[in-house]
Structure 1
């Protein structure tokens, strides 16, 4: 495993900050150092304050949020030799939004405990349905009137500039049905020695003025040690365990009194995409960015020697949003597939993602162990806002 070397003083400072927050990961692949780095985002007691920031003033902060873009410029070039698998191919099956354990639908698991390795470790053949409402990664464009998976939404957060921003995110199947995947730099602030973004939330299916499936405050964030410590873009991904959702209720005094009802677990409301790792490059892939038409095409290997990134994937695209989900084996009928990448940048007419290998799976395994439950009810005051959790 390569490591990206920074200036000695900065490296030492970052390593010191993360020392206490690094998790030991068991299982393959084994390495001499801990793979996953984690940071707390918000406790149950802090959730009302987080939601007051976003929902106060009739959602003024949500409306003001701007797309977040990685500041480091990526100038990747297509290469014949790119990322390589570090073990056998594997994956975790997707699950629909059935709240009852064991009722996730044909060929899917509800508890997330059984990894899917059909066909001797291979995922099932791609089943990406033709969709003329989508923009094709090979150049075919169509209508923007598309139905995104319910798992797709926006993650909102406050950056080191003290301004609200957003990235795309997606619900991923896990044992506790509470996991969100996005780009690492949409969770860990690369401008401030990887401190976590503040007031981090996920809203699936977000539309201005509408929160159809509730708001989910981040509880704990996980990324790869090399991204958190060395800004290695080959590892620019993150998994975030979220608290149970809260759904805004009608109020006679909008903007000041915010009533919120328990919305349950994320996966019970919108389902969860599967996860695939150590897959062959070149598979048909559907990329979903919130509030943008999907992109479809075959992936290809990319490298950017200037930043020592040599395990990247590319897919032809005119635009996408950071944190967008890359799904293989996607079926339009159920709007479920296997997450096999996340957009981290645009470069030369292509969307760029890290290659998902066994080390990503180790980070996922650490994240999926986190349990979260109902946010306790009560009346809370945050500045001019009164938050009533019913």
Structure 2
């Protein structure tokens, strides 16, 4: 294993809790995501800035295979490796009676950047834990196969995500836990992960401040340019202000109409000194017909421009001035611009612990197969035949009983998966399989997470999804993740914490 133990001081885990008996093979592995609050703030800002532009740019994760993974055949009916167990859910939602399936407040999307710099998302859910800070998703949505860094970059969870919005805040991943065999061998029998996240942060507000306040601010900050004139610029320099200029003053050049930077200029001329002839495209030809301007008597008497005054008032008593124009093609000149700074700070808000904000689903392990489950996720990929019924924008669901036998999938070394008849496609990866789902309370017990999508009947349509079976090893990973403490990213005034 490349990195079995996370830093004890950072994770607040005891050596006794993490110790592995001599000669025993570990069942779990862990890696750092973004454990330092200062770094985590930058990650949250990356996804949040420009009104969530990076969030909207992300695409659903796609399994690294050119063919749909095939379900081979049914296997054993007994997949337990110990006593059954579960931990109960918590909820912040008010119970609601409904005949329709109510979406859990706990579900959302995880976003991350892969080694090629591409932005992707999967589905996930908040789960119950000692420190109210755990997210459950697919292991392949956290641990990157073939990556030297092992885990994805800029990993965050956004509960309730919708079109670039993070209504409950952005929760940056601190530590990731998964099955040892997935991390080391890409064995999808352990395709699940539990991620401890920092407190949520909202970065929506900004405030204009003085230069002194700007320099002292420890959080997000930036400078907006304010254009000023040359007089204010020189005054700013004399007072040692932080002003600057851009560009330089250059004159316009006469060019031909075919010049790539040419623009047509309209120039007023004195008709008595200029032969005002035909309209044309070259330099000096007249620009349209003379333009007659109606003016007041006082303006008429005071006028000394290039135009021609009327001889006096017309029959209606109006005074006019006639203007004559020519045209020329020029390459425009440039003008130096002057700027002064506007100091702006980002006011971040600590949204609190994930479980306190949206609640957490329970977790169950070593349960018999054939369970009734409700599966949630954000499907967005097309079916193998190219049909794309889902957008990935809103969560969808499937409900039914899992198979009573485990199934083998030769792809990704799967020997035992549980399967459910369901037509959700890629993007639903990592979505929770909730056993004993209470539609009124919107809670249940996570007994699996969507791992792969299958076309069992061969009609080029996804008809089954599969999940790793949550057994005693899963419980072991969950219990290790349950010990991980995380922190607030910002203080009570929005300041960045170290």
State the 1:24 CA deviation.
Answer: 8.3
Q: Which protein shows a greater Rg?
A: 2
**Partners of 2:5 and 2:18 within 8 A in 1:** no
State the 1:74 CA deviation.
Answer: 2.3
* Equivalence for 1:311: 416
Give the SS at the match of 2:476. helix
Task: Report the CA distance shift for 1:83/1:224 in structure 2 as closer, same or farther (over 3 A).
Answer: farther
Candidates 33, 56, 60, aligned match of 2:53: 60
* Equivalence for 2:349: 261
* Equivalence for 2:362: 274
* Equivalence for 1:33: 25
2:97 pairs with 1:96: no
Give the SS at the match of 1:250. strand
Matched length: 327
State the 1:202 CA deviation.
Answer: 0.5
TM-score by length of structure 1 reads 0.76
2:163 pairs with 1:208: yes
Give the SS at the match of 1:77. coil
Please identify, of 75-84 and 261-270, the stretch whose mean Cα deviation from structure 2 is larger: 75-84
Give the Cα–Cα distance (whole angstroms) in 1 for the partners of residues 105 and 82 of structure 2. Answer: 32
Candidates 340, 346, 356, aligned match of 2:453: 346
Give the Cα–Cα distance (whole angstroms) in 1 for the partners of residues 123 and 446 of structure 2. Answer: 13
Alignment of structure 1 residues 312-331 onto 2, 5 Å: 312-320=417-425, 321-331=428-438
State the 1:376 CA deviation.
Answer: 3.7
Root mean square deviation of aligned Cα: 3.1
Alignment of structure 1 residues 164-243 onto 2, 5 Å: 164-192=119-147, 195-243=150-198
Please identify, of 80-89 and 365-374, the stretch whose mean Cα deviation from structure 2 is larger: 80-89
* Equivalence for 1:160: 115
**Partners of 1:56 and 1:258 within 8 A in 2:** no
* Equivalence for 2:279: none
Give the Cα–Cα distance (whole angstroms) in 2 for the partners of residues 88 and 241 of structure 1. Answer: 26
Task: Report the CA distance shift for 1:20/1:338 in structure 2 as closer, same or farther (over 3 A).
Answer: closer
TM-score by length of structure 2 reads 0.60
Task: Report the CA distance shift for 1:84/1:25 in structure 2 as closer, same or farther (over 3 A).
Answer: farther
**Partners of 2:88 and 2:361 within 8 A in 1:** yes
Q: Any gaps of 5 or more consecutive residues in structure 1?
A: 1-14, 99-104, 107-128, 135-146, 380-386
State the 1:258 CA deviation.
Answer: 3.9
State the 1:375 CA deviation.
Answer: 1.6
* Equivalence for 1:244: 199
Q: Any gaps of 5 or more consecutive residues in structure 2?
A: 8-14, 209-220, 223-344, 379-393, 456-462
**Partners of 2:45 and 2:203 within 8 A in 1:** no
Give the SS at the match of 1:211. coil
State the 1:30 CA deviation.
Answer: 11
Alignment of structure 1 residues 48-127 onto 2, 5 Å: 48-72=41-65, 74-81=69-76, 84-97=79-92
**Partners of 1:312 and 1:352 within 8 A in 2:** yes
Q: Deviations over 1:22-71 (max 9, x none)?
A: 99877999982111111111111201210121112221100000001221
State the 1:82 CA deviation.
Answer: 5.0
**Partners of 1:203 and 1:211 within 8 A in 2:** yes
Candidates 292, 301, 318, aligned match of 2:395: 292
Give the Cα–Cα distance (whole angstroms) in 1 for the partners of residues 349 and 168 of structure 2. Answer: 11
State the 1:196 CA deviation.
Answer: 0.8
Task: Report the CA distance shift for 1:374/1:194 in structure 2 as closer, same or farther (over 3 A).
Answer: closer
Task: Report the CA distance shift for 1:167/1:88 in structure 2 as closer, same or farther (over 3 A).
Answer: same
**Partners of 2:58 and 2:121 within 8 A in 1:** yes
